[in-house]
Amino acid sequence: MAGPLVSRMTKEIRMLQNDPPPGVWAAAKGDKLTELEAQLQGPKDTVYEGGLFSLSVDIPARYPFEPPKVKFVTPVYHPNIDPEGRICLDILNMPPKGAWKPSLNLPTILASIGLLLAQPNPDDGLVTDITAEFRHQRQVFDAKARQWTQRHAMPAARSEDADAAAAAGAAACTGSFHRGLSEGAATGQQQQQAKQQQQEQQDRQSQPQGLPKTATAAAAAAAGDTAGAAANAAGSREKENSQPGLSQGSTAAMAKRQEAGAAAEQAETLPAAAGPAPKRSRLALKK
């Protein structure tokens, strides 16, 4: 921001604070001298009486050689103010269509807008329907303007609007939270079902076709028993083949022992006469 603009804005803001026009309040937004917020009290004995109307003021870089941009923030039912808050006032526009001059200042501008609220200008209307109502159906216009003022510009109405907006925001957040929980639970169930289906498909692919799981298990157990028996038999044969001499020798010795035992038994059972006859003594022969 250039030095002359800072000096000019500092001076005008001080004027608004120390000696504001009747029914006007304005201040800078934070530390920004080129952005202001302002408020106008509804003029007495008009359809806007009792209302408090907020405005935004933006100062261009070439100020005061260009007029500020002023808009209503509060909705106003007025022939010279459109629904976007734009104001049809000659001193807010450059010549030749407008009447802006560098000698004008912010206090003068805001005071002129307050005067426009009290005395609409149907010859330079901005909203055609409202302008026609103001000219030809003044009672209808007055009733609607009062209704808008009570709805949007009264302090109680602003509080109710703020509460309604906060309640709507809280309801939207709560609804989004519950929807998120429901969607999360549904997603978890779908993932679980998908895992179960995938596991079942893997089990079906791993077993032979035409055999149930129990038959497959039984066949596997039988195959294991057969393999175990074959392994034991092979081990016994290997043991016998590794010691052939010992096995043959043991068999021959056992056969010999059996033959000797049989011969001994046969000898014990033979009668005594089979042996040589006993010799008689010589004395017995002499007698």
Q: Out of 9, 47, 88, 109, pick the active-site residue.
A: 88
Residue with tokens 């309640």, as numbered in its chain: 167
What per-residue string of b and e applies to 7-22 under the rule 16 or more CB within 10 Å gives b?
ebbeebbebbeeebbe
HSE-CB at 92 with a 13 A cutoff on CA atoms is 19
Category of 50 on φ-ψ map: left (φ > 0), alpha (ψ -120 to 50) or beta: left
Residue 151, SS3? Answer: helix
Burial of residue 70, with CB atoms counted within 10 A of its CB: 0-12 exposed, 13-18 middle, 19 or more buried: buried
Confirm whether 88 is a catalytic residue: yes
Nearest of 124, 41, 139 to residue 80 by alpha carbon: 124
Q: Which residues are catalytic?
A: 88
